[in-house]
Amino acid sequence: MSGVKIIKIKPEDDGIRLNRWFLREYPALSLSRLQKLLRTKQIKLDGKRAETSSRLTAGQELRLPPLDNEKAAPQTKTISTKDIEYITSMVIYKDKNIIVLSKPSGLAVQGGTNTTRHIDGLLEALKFELAEKPRLVHRIDKDTSGLLLLARNRQAAEMLTKAFREHTLQKTYLALVRGCPEKFESEINLPLEKVGERVQVLSDGKKALTRYKVLDNAGKKYALVAAEPLTGRTHQIRAHLEALGTPILGDDKYFGRERVRLSEVADKLYLHAYQIDLSSIYGKKMIITAPLPPHFQQACQFFGLEIKK
């Protein structure tokens, strides 16, 4: 076929997924057209059929049909000056490999139904001196505030993704809960499974383990709890603290028997991604802390709670 190209995969592209390679090299090529070209074997890896999820290996030969028209970059949405200032104001740490944001409660990490403003859509404003925008390597819930890590290059993205997947990074969350756990320091070992819109404790669910410690308490009414998820289940801390009988204040999904709204404090979720230990990645002590957002600080002051080690 006239115009067919054979491209040898470069060492720096070793390990990248095929669809990500095409997104970079042929940004105007739609996913549906890419899938059709793969399905009809017009794109091959070392002479064999490939999938969008195929991982490239340095030295492999990629056969391509004529795709010159797909090289043109698609139109990108212009980020307003206000949004640039908004996203850059969240940066609390930056080096050549990572950026750490302190995300406010109420801002989604990625887009979805009725969600047009999100972190993923603002990443172009965080390129700084580099040519490419940073990449998401994990997520936190829309209503959870605090630490969000971004990778500034592919190598860092792969390293951090692996660390999050294998749970080798110690993460600490702060939660303001209704009630106070009977044990001030313990582990919650209850299997979880998603049922509809909620995650529930089920005997045949997936293993879920959360270590917690009560940092301060206002009698039996409220407590400030530090929670470390030792596994990575969806809504793990929220579901576990509800199961303990101490749901997180302001939680619309995991609120125990009743959802309590207090006029004295902001009606928001009081769960904060507070601290992450990156020492295993950096080979030296490296702990990053996100300051408590104003609504969380004000609530702690109202209840007379402090972060006590």
Say whether both 185 and 277 belong to one domain. yes
Q: What is the dihedral of CA 191, 194, 198, 204, to 10 degrees?
A: -40
Confidence of residue 76 (pLDDT cuts 50, 70, 90): low
Say whether both 253 and 132 belong to one domain. no
> Count of residues for the chain?
309
CATH number of residue 102's parent domain: 3.30.2350.10
- Number of structural domains (the chain) is 3
Taking residues 267-271, what's their average pLDDT? 97
**Whole-number percent of the chain with pLDDT over 90:** 59
What is the CB neighbour count within 10 angstroms for residue 284?
7
Q: Is 277 one of the annotated active-site residues of the chain? A: no
The answer as to whether 55 is a domain residue is yes
The answer as to whether 12 is a domain residue is yes
The answer as to whether 267 is a domain residue is yes
* Placement of tokens 């609390």 in the chain: 92
User: Could you list the residue range(s) of the whole structural domain that residue 205 is in?
Assistant: 170-303
Looking at the DSSP bridge assignments, the partners of residue 99 are: 94, 150
At 210-241, the pLDDT tens digits run 999 999 999 999 999 999 999 989 899 999 99
More confident residue, 68 or 237: 237
Say whether both 178 and 289 belong to one domain. yes
Say whether both 55 and 101 belong to one domain. no
pLDDT at 176 over 90: yes
* Domain C-terminal end among 71, 95, 129: 71
Confidence of residue 192 (pLDDT cuts 50, 70, 90): very high
* Domain C-terminal end among 147, 166, 185: 166
Looking at the DSSP bridge assignments, the partners of residue 49 are: 44
Say whether both 162 and 174 belong to one domain. no
pTM for this prediction: 0.76
Catalytic pick from 13, 141, 143, 251? 141
